[in-house]
Amino acid sequence: MAKHNLQWDENKLKRFLREGRGQGEGQDYKPWVTVQDFPSKGRCSRVLGWKTNRIHHLFTDSETRYFYLLEWEDAVVDIREHFPLLDLEEVVKEKDDLNFNLFQDKNSGLPYIIYTSFLITIKDTDGQKRYIARSLKADYELQRKRSIERLEIERRYWLNKHIDWGIVTQKDIPTVKAKNIEWVHSSL
C-alpha cells in the first residue's frame, strides 16, 4: 500500500477545503500542503513557531532557514507557509499568455492549487498590518520553464492583490544567522 496518494482529483480538493487547509491566521492557520502529503526528496521539518504557537510544515532546508529568519524579526507577527491561491481565476485577469496546462493533473484534468511559500503578516511601526508574499526556489529552478511560468502566475496574483511579492533563493539566506537562530529557537 502506497504511503502517499499523489493523485489530485475533485474528492481530494473537497477534502482539503473541508479540513480548512489554507484558511485561518496565527495558531488557527492550516497550510495547504503538509510534510505528510508528499514523499520527501530531501529534509523536511516540522517546527513549533514562536509567533503562531503551531507546527509549521517546511519542505526544504531553505524554507526552514527562511522561517527562522522570519521568526527572529520583531515586525513579523504571523507566518503562513504554503498559502494557496484559491481565488486565482478571479484575481488574475490577464492570463491568455500563461500556460495553465502545466499545472493540472494528467489523469483527472483538474488544475492543481498553486500556492506561495510564505504569506507573512508584518506590523509596521505605526501599528498597521501589511502582508508580503515570498516564493522560495532553488536558484537552478529559475532556469526551468515550469518554474518560471508558476512564478509569473504568482507574481500576477499578488500584484492584483496589491501585496508585495518576491522570490528568495538559497543565496539570499544568510545560513550562519539562520542556524544560530535555529539553535536559540530549539533551546527556548
Q: Do the domain assignments include residue 115?
A: yes
Residue 95 domain-assigned? yes
- By DSSP bridging, strand 45-48 and strand 129-136 are unpaired
- What is the domain count for the chain? 1
Question: Looking at the domain assignment, is residue 131 inside a domain?
Answer: yes
Is residue 1 one of the residues assigned to a domain?
Answer: no
Over 80: is that where the pLDDT of 29 sits? yes
CA-closest candidate to residue 83, choices 116, 114, 51, 131: 116
Assigned domain for 107 exists: yes
Instruction: Say if residue 128's pLDDT is above 70.
Output: yes
Q: How does pLDDT run across 92-115, given as a tens digit for each residue?
A: 888 788 887 778 888 888 889 999
- Tell me the pTM: 0.91
Q: Which domain holds residue 34?
A: 10-181
Residue 43 in this model has a pLDDT that exceeds 90 = no
**Residue 4 maps to a domain:** no
pLDDT digits (tens, 9 = 90+) for 61-71: 999 999 999 99
Of the candidates 116, 14, 120, 24, the one whose C-alpha atom is nearest the C-alpha of residue 67 is 120
Asked whether residue 142 carries a pLDDT value surpassing 80, the answer given is: yes
Q: Is pLDDT of 3 > 80?
A: no
C-alpha grid cell, residue 61 = 532546508
Helix axes 175-187, 61-72, angle to 10 degrees: 70
Mean pLDDT of 162-182: 95
The rounded mean pLDDT for the chain is 91
pLDDT band at 38 (very low <50, low <70, confident <90, very high): confident
Does residue 111 lie in a domain region?
yes
CATH of the domain at 106: 3.40.1350.10
Looking up cell 503538509 gives: 34
Q: Is residue 65 part of a domain?
A: yes
